[in-house]
Amino acid sequence: MDTPEIRQARAEDAPAFTSVIRAAYGPWIDRLEGLPDVDAGVADEIAHHPVWVAEQPGTGRIVGGLVLHLEPGVARIANLAVHPDCGGQGIGRALMAAAEDHARAAGYGQMTLASHRDMTPTLRFYRNSGWAETGREGFRVFMVKDLG
């Protein structure tokens, strides 16, 4: 597979990105207590927040995406999903790099996120990407990454 292009999401990407989110979280949805509705409001997210998608060249297939919320004093990853057929190809890291560059350019010195405590592969991905755990509350694991 050719390396996907990371680009800003457009309104018409919402259904495809929603499908990617459902596929990525599919194995977890019925198994994890406390997992929020992970695919709700994708069109609204694209309309109101920075969102990137990973698109396969030549096919136009959306294989990943990331939603970034820029709030006063904090840049927060609201959602990151890569289609399970495309895992391990650097798509998540490329999406994160786009979000980090955007946050840095907007003047943010760090980013935050929350993940589910039982999604150990996801937590491992974040730790291997330079994120540090800052706390836990119920099912949520909070993490931070300095952008310096």
Of 3.20.20.70, 3.40.50.720, 3.40.228.10, 3.40.630.30, the CATH number of 5-146 is 3.40.630.30
Name the more confident of 110 and 1: 110
Q: What is the pLDDT of residues 26-48, one digit of tens each?
A: 766 555 555 455 566 899 999 99
Tell me phi and psi for residue 70, to 5 degrees.
-100, 110
Biggest CA-to-CA distance, the chain: 43
**β-strand pairing of 110-116 with 74-82:** parallel
Query: Cα(96)–Cα(124) distance, rounded to whole angstroms?
Result: 15
Q: What is the pLDDT of residues 69-127, one digit of tens each?
A: 999 999 999 999 999 998 888 999 999 999 999 999 999 999 999 988 887 888 999 99
Name, in order, each residue with C-beta under 8 angstroms of 21's C-beta and a sequence gap of 6 or more. Answer: 38, 39, 42, 65, 79, 81
* Nearest to 100, CA basis, from 144, 142, 135: 144
Name the more confident of 138 and 55: 55
Q: How far apart are the first and last CA of the chain?
A: 33
Query: Cα(109)–Cα(11) distance, rounded to whole angstroms?
Result: 29
pTM of the model: 0.89
How confident is the model at residue 119, as a pLDDT? 78
- pLDDT for residue 20 is more than 80: yes
Q: What is the pLDDT of residues 112-132, one digit of tens each?
A: 999 888 878 889 999 999 999
